[in-house]
Amino acid sequence: MPRILVADHLADEGLRILSREESLSVDHRPGPSEQDLIALIPAYEGLVVRSATRVPASVIEAGSRLKLIGRAGIGVDTIDVDAATRRGIVVMNTPLGNVSSAAEHTLALLFSCARNVARADHLMRQKRWEKGSLVGVELSGKVLGVVGLGKVGSHVARVARAAGMTVIAYDPFLSSEKAAEMGVRLVPVETVVADSDFITLHVPLNEKTKNLIGAAEFKRMKKNARIINCARGGVVDEKALHAALKSREIAGAALDVFEQEPLGESPLLELDNVTLTPHLGASTEEAQRKVAVDIANQFVSYFKSGVVENAVNIASVADPKLVPYMALAEKLGNLATQLGGNHVRQVELACLGDLAGRDTRPLTIAALKGALTPVCGDEVNLVNAAVLAQERGIRLVESRSRDLQGYVSLMTVRILSETGESTIAGTVTQESEPRVVRINQYEVDLRPAEHLLVMFYPDRPGMVGKFGTILGNHQLNIARMEVGRRARGGQAVVILTMDDAVPPAVLDEMRQAVQVEDLRAVRL
């Protein structure tokens, strides 16, 4: 009989679903330390957590019987998903249970920020009647800028429009037609920053969104601008925010998420023009019930019928013969998106050679997941990738052909967007190692790695030395280099595999020194 450890507080409805399943044995022990969890986990096949309990590699390695880890919520940043995948452990989340709650809390902070509700309450409790210092602003007639129009951002946009606001948004995955249906105008993120009276963020935290709003962005904002972040801590540079609020460079802010949680000591606590809440986005009775019921049902389905729902790691759901191709498909989609333009309209996957004789649908979904991940983050997985694409007006095209020369099997992912396109092709070697063999029109032999620099520029002598010197001056090591070109002295692509991420300032220095046509830092 599989044993399930529930290591966080879980709503009673979820616990009842797990406990009444006679084929499962359930223990509820909320709040264990890492060492406690290491000692407990060898006896369990399943582990349920929420945001309080971390599941690092040490716990996963100790879980000799562990088959399934479930997060009652969307974020899996507290779980070492890579370690779980290497062990063949399925990691699930519940991406839809707290959408309404997160959106409503954003709206609560939007209204509170406009009308100084939190500060007014604080002054009233001090028996201070200071109406003159609490004059607010109306939302009606103002411009709301939404960064990220997923489920939460879309909900916020609908309510804001009902309140009389004009909504502009930045979302590189949403088509202009789909945005128009929502009554939203798509604009570059720089326009959102400069033209909005209120800005709300709904993006995952990754290398591209880390400190997305920093000192430079605050300088471009209106003096009366107010910013709300209920997405992820770290998307807003808190030091820059403090400086902008203290100097009244912007009018106000409201934060529910922070770079370090719990918040502890922070200079933001000293300011009267910022509203702070302790990560309450999903803290409603309804959301707690939804995520608890969702994860409980998913565990029952898995252990009773072998059904995998809302898995965030790909190896857990693949046909063994397709495992290396699924991993490759996700990397191809991810790379194609990061090299393509904004506002993706179509994702195409072509399976050629021996692959064409198999059920290629899992490969298509894996490629789509990879294509959506740079913007959607934790929200997207193998189960909901197609739904999220449909909601964003992204068309999915599949094709197969047994005709192929030079390779046993080949996959090609093509991204079409409103501002450009990219095509990436790859294969798997006889040793089951993935290879990228074409980037747009250039033939390459690239081993996918976490950190890549991709450069397109005229093939001229001395170029390699310039960027190598710049990277060396910043102690950034090049692990491998691949070059593709069509003719001597023509256009070329150079891909550098880096040991570490290259900071934006170094990328700017390289652009100036090498005069590249296009330079992208890619993380797979």
Q: Is the same domain home to 10 and 118?
A: no
Does residue 458 lie in a domain region? yes
- Of 406, 440, 474, which one is at a domain's C-terminal end? 440
- Taking alpha carbons only, the member of 51, 14, 47 closest to residue 262 is 51
Q: Provide the number of structural domains found in the chain.
A: 4
What pLDDT does 316 receive? Answer: 43
Q: Is the same domain home to 16 and 110?
A: no
What pLDDT does 460 receive? Answer: 77
Does residue 516 lie in a domain region? yes
Does residue 206 lie in a domain region? yes
- Taking alpha carbons only, the member of 253, 188, 185 closest to residue 218 is 253
**DSSP helix/strand/coil, 264:** coil
CA angle 240, 100, 309 (to 5 degrees): 105
Q: Which positions ≥6 away from 39 have C-beta within 8 Å? A: 62
Q: Is the same domain home to 107 and 251?
A: yes
CATH of the domain at 404: 3.30.1330.90
Tokens matching residue 216: 């430079």
Can you list the residues of the chain whose pLDDT is less than 50? 315-318
Q: Is the same domain home to 301 and 250?
A: no
Does residue 255 lie in a domain region? yes
CATH of the domain at 126: 3.40.50.720
Does residue 281 lie in a domain region? no
What pLDDT does 315 receive? Answer: 42
Domain span at residue 323? 318-440
Q: Is the same domain home to 19 and 45?
A: yes
Within 10 angstroms of residue 348's Cβ, the number of other Cβ atoms is 19
What pLDDT does 295 receive? Answer: 97
Write the CA distances from 512 to 45, 185, 495, integer angstroms.
54, 33, 18
Tokens matching residue 218: 């605050």
Q: Is the same domain home to 41 and 58?
A: yes
Within 10 angstroms of residue 380's Cβ, the number of other Cβ atoms is 25
What pLDDT does 466 receive? Answer: 85
Q: Is the same domain home to 127 and 242?
A: yes
Work out the angle between the directed axes of helices 285-305 and 99-115 (0-180°, nearest 10). Answer: 160
Which pLDDT tens digit goes with each residue over 55-68? 999 999 999 999 99
Within 10 angstroms of residue 296's Cβ, the number of other Cβ atoms is 29
Q: Is the same domain home to 178 and 125?
A: yes
What pLDDT does 417 receive? Answer: 87
What pLDDT does 17 receive? Answer: 96
What pLDDT does 116 receive? Answer: 96
- Taking alpha carbons only, the member of 343, 351, 353 closest to residue 367 is 351
Q: Is the same domain home to 121 and 51?
A: no
**Three-class DSSP labels, 150-213:** CHHHHHHHHHHHHCCCEEEEECCCCCHHHHHHCCCEECCHHHHHHHCCEEEECCCCCCCCCCCE
- Of 297, 313, 329, which one is at a domain's C-terminal end? 313
CATH of the domain at 517: 3.30.70.260
Strands (E), 264-312: 274-276
User: What amino acid positions are annotated as catalytic residues?
Assistant: 232, 261, 279
Q: Is the same domain home to 381 and 465?
A: no
Q: Is the same domain home to 411 and 358?
A: yes
Does residue 226 lie in a domain region? yes
Which pLDDT tens digit goes with each residue over 265-299? 999 999 999 999 999 998 999 999 999 999 999 99
Q: Is the same domain home to 418 and 502?
A: no
Q: pTM for the complete prediction?
A: 0.77
